[in-house]
A and B are shown apart, each in its own frame.
Chain A
Amino acid sequence: MSVGASELLVEGEPSVEAIELVPGEVTARSPWQLFWRRFRADRVAMASGIFIVLLILVAIFAPLIVSILGLPGPSVQNPNLTDAFGTPIGPTGAHPFGVDPLGEDVMSRVIYGARVSLEVGIIGTALSTFLGVSLGLIAGFYRGWADTGLSRLADVVLSFPILLFGLGIGAACAVNGCLGGAIQPGVQTIIAIIVIAGWTYIYRITRGQVLSLREKEFVEAARSLGASNRRIMFREILPNLVAPIIVYSSLLIPVNILFEAALSYLGVGVKPPTASWGQMIADATSNFQTVWWYMLFPGVALLLTVLAFNLVGDGLQDALNPKADR
C-alpha cells in the first residue's frame, strides 16, 4: 500500500516553504496567498490579530457586553459605592475592575474606552494614509513644482513638535471650542491633528517608491501601449506600493492610539463623561496609592491593545518582506 505525497501533506500544518510535489496539481500561488501562508504561520501575530478582532467586536457591541456582564453603564454614578471619605470600593464580584471615585464601574468604562482608542487609531491612520499616498503619488509621479511644494510642506510639518502642537491646539479648543465654535474638543479634533501630522511619513515613503518605480520598464511598456497618466499611477504603480503601505500604516495605528491617550491624559483630548483610557489614568493620578485599580486596568488595556497592534505590524512586515529574514 503506497501513501501518496498529497495524503501526507493533508496531515497537520504543511511547513511554510513546503514544495508540493504532486504531478498535475501544481498551481502557482499568488503573492497574497504566499503572504497569507507566511502570516498564518506566525503564531504570535495571528494571536494578536485575533485579539484585535475581538477588541473591535467588544467596542462595537459595548452596550450589549456590559449588560450581559451585568455591569452598570459607563456613566452611571452610584454614590453608594464610595465610603464616607469618598474612597470607592475595589475589585469585587459585581465590579471586577472596581469602582472609580465618582461611583462609576471601571470595567464598564474600560470596555467603552476601547471605542475611543480604536476610532482614533483606525480612522486617524486610514485618513492620514489616504492623504499621504495620494500626495506621494502626485509628487513622485509628476515631480517638478508639485514635488518641491509638497516636500517642503512635509519638511515644515516635521519641524513641529507634534505632541506640544497637539497640546496647544487641544488647549486652544478646550476653552470655548475653536474657530468660532466650529471645532469642539474631542475625538474629531484629535483625528484632525493626527491627519495633519501623520500624512508626512506615508508621503515620504510613497514618494520615494514612486520615484524609482516610474523609471521601470513596465511603466515604459504601459506608456508605449498608450496608457494614460492616471492609469499608470493607479493600475501600474499603486499595486506595487500596497505592501510597504500596509506595513507602515499598521505601525502607525499603535502610535496614534498612544497619541490620543497622551492628549487625554494631559487633559486636552477626550473629556468625561466619554470614557477614554488616557483620561481615566489621568483621573486616577490624584490618589492611585489607594485606588490603584482605577490606574491599573485602563493602563493594562492600553498596553495590551498597543502591543497587539505592534505585534501584528511586525508580523505583516515579516510576511510581506521575507527576504529580511529576521
Chain B
Amino acid sequence: MIRYIVRRLLWGVVLLVAVIAITFVLFYLVPNVNPAVLRAGRNSSPKIISEISANLGLNKPVYTQFWVYLKRLVLHFDLGYSYYSGASVKSLMADRLPATLSLTFGAVVIWLAVGIPVGIISAIKRRSVLDRSAMGTALVFVSAPVYWLGLLVLFLFAADIGKFKIPFLHGAGSYVGLTTSPLHWFESLLMPWFVLAATSAAIYARLLRGSLIDVMGEDYIRTARAKGLPEHTVVMKHGVRSAITPLVTVLGLDIAILMGGAVLTETVFDIPGIGRLNYDAITHGDFPIIQGTIVLAAIFIILANIVVDIAYAYLDPRVRYT
C-alpha cells in the first residue's frame, strides 16, 4: 500500500511538472506580443521596455527562464507578477480564494443534497412518471449553459433588477466576505449556489440512477431480500453504498476544477473569485495571472486524482497491482 502511494505521488509530481512546462512554453511561444510591452503599458519609451525585458529575464534563453520560473514556483509558490497591476499573482489569488471556496462548497452541498435523493428515487421507481419527469428535467439542466441560467435567474428574481423581486436574493456583484457579514454572504450566494449546482445535481442524479439500477440487479441484493431485510435497508445499505462509488471519483475532480475558479458562474454573478480574476486578466492580456490560474487548477486536479486513487486502492486491493 505504501509503495502504491509513493508511486502515485511521484507520478503526480511528474504530471505537475509536465503541465507547468507545457503551460510555460505555450505562453512563451504563442502570444504574438512582447510581454515587456504589455508590462510597460502604452506609449512607453524603448528604454523602459528594454529595462523591463532585462528585469523579467526575457533576454535569457527559454530554458533558463523556465528554470527560474520553476524554481520560484517550487520554493516560494511565486507565480510572477501581474503585467497590469504589478501585484504578485500569488497574493492576488490568495485574496480571491475565499470567494471561490465559498461558492464551490455551498454548491457541492446543494448538488449532493438534490442529486443523490433524486437519483435513488428515480432508480427505485424506474419508469414511473416521477422517474421520467425527474430525468427529463435533469437532461434540461445538463444541457443549459450555466451563464445563461444565471442571467435568467437574475432577470426573474434578483432584488435589484428582477421581474419578481425577492428581497433577500441580492443581484450580481453583491458578494461580501463571510467575516464581513455572514447573513449578507449567505444571501448573496444563494442564487449562484443553485445555478452552479443545477447542472451537477442533474449529472449526479443520472449517474447514480444508472449505477443503482445496475447494482440492484446483482445477486447479493436478491440474497439480502431473501434474508428478509426490509426494503429500505436493502436499498440504502446494500444498494446505494456500492452504487455511489463512481460518484466519488467524479466528485473529487469536480471540486478540484471548481476550486481552480468557476469562471462562468463568477463572471455572471460578478463574484470576486479566482475565476473572475482570470476573466479580468483575459481582457487585459495579463498572461502571468492566466498562467498562474492554470497551474493552480492543475495542482488541485492532480491532487484530487491522487486522493481518489488512494481511496480506491484502500477500498479495493486489486487496484494496487494495476
Contacts and interface: CB of A to CB of B under 8 A. Distances in A.
B139 A311 contact: yes
B147 A265 contact: yes
Contact of B155 (A288, A303, A307, A310): A288
A262 B287 contact: no
A296 to B, nearest CB: 8
Given A175-B33, A262-B147, A266-B267, A167 B260 contact: no
Contacts of B297: 161, 164
A158 B264 CA distance: 20
A175 B31 contact: yes
Given A159-B19, A160-B298, A303-B143, A167 B30 contact: no
Interface string B133-160: 0000001101111011001101100000
A204 to B, nearest CB: 13
A160 B297 CA distance: 8
A183 B83 CA distance: 24
B207 to A, nearest CB: 13
A324 B209 CA distance: 12
B301 A281 contact: no
Contact of B22 (A156, A181, A281, A295): A156
Contacts of A159: 15-16, 18-19, 298, 301-302, 305
B278 A310 contact: no
A179 interface: yes
B263 A167 contact: yes
Q: Could you say which interface size class chain A belongs to?
A: 35 or more
B282 A178 contact: no
A178 B32 contact: yes
B178 interface: no
A267 interface: yes
Given A266-B282, A326-B210, A168 B139 contact: no
Interface residues of B, number: 53
Contact of A167 (B29, B152, B290): B290
A172 B30 contact: yes
Interface in A264-296: 265-268, 278, 281, 284-285, 288-289, 292, 295-296
Contact of B294 (A168, A306, A324): A168
A118 interface: no
A257 to B, nearest CB: 9
B27 A281 contact: no
Contact of A177 (B23, B32, B294): B32
B50 interface: no
A299 B145 contact: yes
Interface in B1-54: 11, 15-16, 18-19, 22-23, 26-27, 29-33
B22 A168 contact: no
B293 interface: yes
Contacts of B257: 161, 163
Nearest to A162: B257
A254 B143 contact: yes
B279 interface: yes
A194 interface: no
A302 interface: yes
B213 interface: yes
A218 interface: no
Interface string B264-305: 100110000000001101110101001101100110011001
B140 to A, nearest CB: 6
Contacts of A326: 126, 210, 213
Contacts of B151: 281, 284-285, 288, 295, 299
* Listed residue (A159, A165, A326) with the most chain B CB atoms within 10 angstroms of its CB: A159
Counting chain A CB atoms within 10 Å of each CB, which of B18, B126, B301 scores highest? Answer: B18
Contact of B264 (A168, A176, A266, A284): A266
A169 interface: yes
Given A164-B297, A168-B291, A175-B285, A281 B145 contact: yes
A172 B145 contact: no
B91 to A, nearest CB: 20
Contacts of A177: 32
A295 B155 contact: yes
Most buried by A among B147, B268, B291: B147
B161 interface: yes
A326 B143 CA distance: 20
Contacts of A164: 260-261, 263, 278, 290, 293-294, 297
Contacts of B148: 281, 295, 299, 302-303
21 contacts: A156-B22, A159-B15, A159-B298, A164-B261, A164-B263, A164-B293, A168-B27, A169-B30, A171-B282, A171-B290, A174-B282, A174-B285, A176-B33, A179-B32, A258-B145, A266-B264, A288-B154, A288-B155, A299-B152, A306-B143, A306-B145
Give 8 nearest A-B pairs by CB, closest first: A176-B32, A161-B297, A299-B148, A306-B143, A307-B143, A289-B161, A171-B282, A178-B30
Interface of A: 155-156, 159-161, 163-165, 167-181, 254, 258, 261-262, 265-268, 278, 281, 284-285, 288-289, 292, 295-296, 299, 302-303, 306-307, 310-311, 314, 324-326
Given A164-B260, A171-B282, A310-B139, 11 more contacts: A156-B15, A159-B305, A160-B22, A165-B294, A167-B290, A168-B23, A178-B30, A179-B32, A288-B154, A303-B140, A306-B145
